Amino acid sequence: MSVTAAIFLTFILLLVIGAPITLSLGASAMVGMMISGKPMEGLVEIAYTSVNSFPIMALPAFILSGALMESAGISRRLVAVAEAMAGPFTGGMAASTVLSCLFFGAISGSGPATTAAVGMLMIPAMVRHGYDRGYAGAITSCSGGLGVVIPPSIPMVIYGVAASQSIADLFIAGFIPGVMLAVGLLTMNFIRSKQRNYKGDGKTLSIRKVNATMKEGFWALLTPIIILGGIYTGFFTPTEAAIVSIFYTLFVGIFIYKELRFKAAMKALENTTWITGRVLIIMFTALAFGQLLTINKIPDLIAQGLLSLTGNLYLIWALIIIFLLFMGMFMETLATIMLVTPVLLPVMVSLGVNPIHFGVVLVCCCEIGFATPPLGENMFIASGVARTSLENISWNALPFVFVSVLVVFIVAYVPILTLWLPNLLNSIFG
């Protein structure tokens, strides 16, 4: 049996019997190394290499920052701004949810964290205003994924490390696609709310109220400006920006909003430790798996296979997007990124695709995976908050998933949407 066949058979078998993705990747790598005669000590070297990176330090920092912001009252103030802006219109409460996820996503960098923080506030509010529980859970779970596209983004940090690309460029490149996804969700929500007769919150749009909520949430809205502004003015690196966001959150939560308590801060540290440990283990096993695939020239074989089918870049993009969407249904985001990057990135680069552009499309596909069962992390969170079945949420989510997929195809086929902003800022700031 060839090394490649042994790796994939072991991987598929473990997945079929229900083994965790981390175990499946790690065991497959071990089998591959045993058959190829490579010393097992190499796994230790790979483990060290996978975490011995300055950019990866941004990962726990952004996770901690997002967790602290939820406890500091920042998420609540962002939701208040969104409600004041969108609440009075048709489907206004659901539109407020989308905008809240957009705002909070620009802070947390995590899809599940965004879904949990916004969902705890908005799902009960939507239910009180007559929204179906399944619909409320669906719009929240689909919007929560914006947290991984809008910068700063934890999956983009992972991709940047795996692909050796600028994390700052990835952050900026994700802004326009993230806004496009939000606009797509808002448009579909308006159509569905018209059909379901979901009215606004009964209040008149008040510029005074919008200004008042923005004034109250000023320090919360300032966070992404500080982070991204600091990165692109060269004041600090993405990793340093993550550390700055922690101290900024502590300052705002303790001295300005005065809502951050010691117990909540300790809980945020505990959650950060657990999530970071899980992510680093996935990175180690996925990196080992990916290296073995590269050694055995699997990316070259895939490239030849794709090119034998068609030389049309648009068709290749379609095949890859469908493949990534399928993977997103069964595999968590970070594992997907670590697994497909060494395999598909060389293929797309050989076809003239910019690595930053590919990374954004990859993360956008992963964003949709948060709201597609059976894995669908956001759906499980929304289901618990909304107190309704996963099936109910899944059916209601289909129109929102459809419009998100449509946006991903537009982003893939029109590279300028992704690359224009980072190219502009690079030309300005050098």
Q: What was the pLDDT predicted at 139? A: 94
| Residue 329 counted as domain residue | yes
| Residue 19 counted as domain residue | no
Domain containing 374: what range? 54-280+297-429
- For the record, the structure tokens of 315 come out as 């068709």
| Residue 10 counted as domain residue | no
| Residue 337 counted as domain residue | yes
Which residue matches tokens 């996935």? Answer: 282
Q: If you ran DSSP here, which 8-state letter would residue 87 be given? A: T
| Residue 305 counted as domain residue | yes
Number of domains in the chain: 1
* Closest to 63 measured CA to CA, from 219, 256, 279: 279
Q: What was the pLDDT predicted at 5? A: 82
Q: What was the pLDDT predicted at 101? A: 86
* Closest to 166 measured CA to CA, from 175, 157, 174: 157
Which residue matches tokens 């303790």? Answer: 254
| Residue 74 counted as domain residue | yes
The DSSP-derived string for 122-158 is HHHHHHHTT--HHHHHHHHHHHHGGGGTSSS-HHHHH
| Residue 5 counted as domain residue | no
- For the record, the structure tokens of 62 come out as 């952004």
Q: What is the pTM of this model?
A: 0.81
To which H or E segment does residue 273 belong?
helix 262-295
Residues of the chain with pLDDT below 50 are none
Q: What was the pLDDT predicted at 155? A: 87
Query: Are the beta carbons of 253 and 72 closer than 8 angstroms?
Result: yes
Q: What was the pLDDT predicted at 4? A: 75
Q: What was the pLDDT predicted at 201? A: 65
The DSSP-derived string for 281-348 is HHHHHHHHHHHHHHHTTHHHHHHHHHHHH---HHHHHHHHHHHHHHHHHHS-HHHHHHHHHHHHHHHH
* Closest to 123 measured CA to CA, from 91, 94, 166, 90: 94
Integer Cα distance of 414 and 386 in angstroms: 37
Report the 10 Å Cβ neighbour count for 297. Answer: 12
| Residue 26 counted as domain residue | no
Q: What was the pLDDT predicted at 54? A: 67
